[in-house]
Structure 1
C-alpha cells in the first residue's frame, strides 16, 4: 500500500522557497513581513500566562529615541537616532553626521489590554509587558421569537 503525501508539506515548501527569493532581493523591506533586515532589532516574545513580555535589543539609543506603539494585535517598536558633532578651530570647520534607525513590527498571538502596557529600558534592552485582554464572555444573547 502506498502512503498518501501530506498536502501541507507541499504548501510549507512553497512558502520557504517564496521567502528565500525575497530575502535575496536588494532593497526589499523584510520587516514589513516580519522577516528582519539589515537594521534588524532582535526580539524575544514570551507568553507568561496573564501577559506577553517582549524583550528587544536597542543598544546605543536613549529612551527618548524609542517609540513603542500597540494597535489591535500589532506591536511596533521604532528607534531613531541622529548624531551630530561639530569641531571648530581657526583653520577649518568639520561637521560629521550619523543617523541610525531600527524598526520592528510583530503580530501578537492574542489581544492585549492597550491601557495596561508598560515598558522599561536598561542597558540597551527594552522590555515591554503586555497584559492579555480578558476573553469576551459569551457574546450577546439573542432572544428567539
Structure 2
C-alpha cells in the first residue's frame, strides 16, 4: 500500500519547524541570530529564561501581544575604525529576534523581567479564572 505523499511532506515540515523553534539547524548547530530559550510552566506563571551574553539592557526589547512574547536584541559592538587591518574578525554586530508562543493567556499588567550576568528572565503570571467568566446559554 502506498503512503500518502502529503503525509511525508507534513512530517518534513514538522521536523523543520521543530528545528527552527528550537534554534537548531539541520546539523545540530545553533542557528545564527537565534537564542536558546527555556520556558517553565509553573502552576500560576510561566518563566522564560534566555542567555544573552554581551547585550546591554537598553539594547533588549521585549513585547507581549496576542499570547506571544517577542524578544529582540541588538549588540551594536564597538565603534569600528575603518583604517584598521584585521587578520580575523569574528566580533561583529549581531541581532536576535525570537518569538515564544504561550499556551495560556497571561496577566499582561503583571509581567516582569530581569537581566543579570547575561541571563534574561521574564516572569509571566497566568490569568486567574475567577468571577469574570460568563455563562453561555445554549439555545
TM-score normalised per structure 2: 0.71
Is there any run of 5+ residues in structure 2 with no aligned partner, and where? Answer: 1-5, 24-30
Instruction: Look up the match of 2:84.
Output: 94
CA contact (8 A) 2:22 2:36 kept: no
RMSD: 3.2
Instruction: Look up the match of 1:107.
Output: 101
CA distance in 1, matches of 2:53, 2:15: 29
Three-state SS of the structure 2 residue aligned to 1:84 is coil
Instruction: Look up the match of 1:55.
Output: 49
Instruction: Look up the match of 2:26.
Output: none
Alignment length (residue pairs): 121
CA distance in 1, matches of 2:52, 2:17: 25
1:72 and 2:66 are equivalent in the alignment: yes
TM-score normalised per structure 1: 0.68
1:123 and 2:117 are equivalent in the alignment: yes
1:17 and 2:7 are equivalent in the alignment: no
Q: Deviations over 1:28-65 (max 9, x none)?
A: xx4xxx35332211001101111100001111101111
Three-state SS of the structure 1 residue aligned to 2:109 is helix
Q: Deviations over 1:100-127 (max 9, x none)?
A: 1011101101000111100001111100
Deviation of the 1:15 alpha carbon:
3.5
Deviation of the 1:18 alpha carbon:
2.1
Instruction: Look up the match of 1:81.
Output: 75
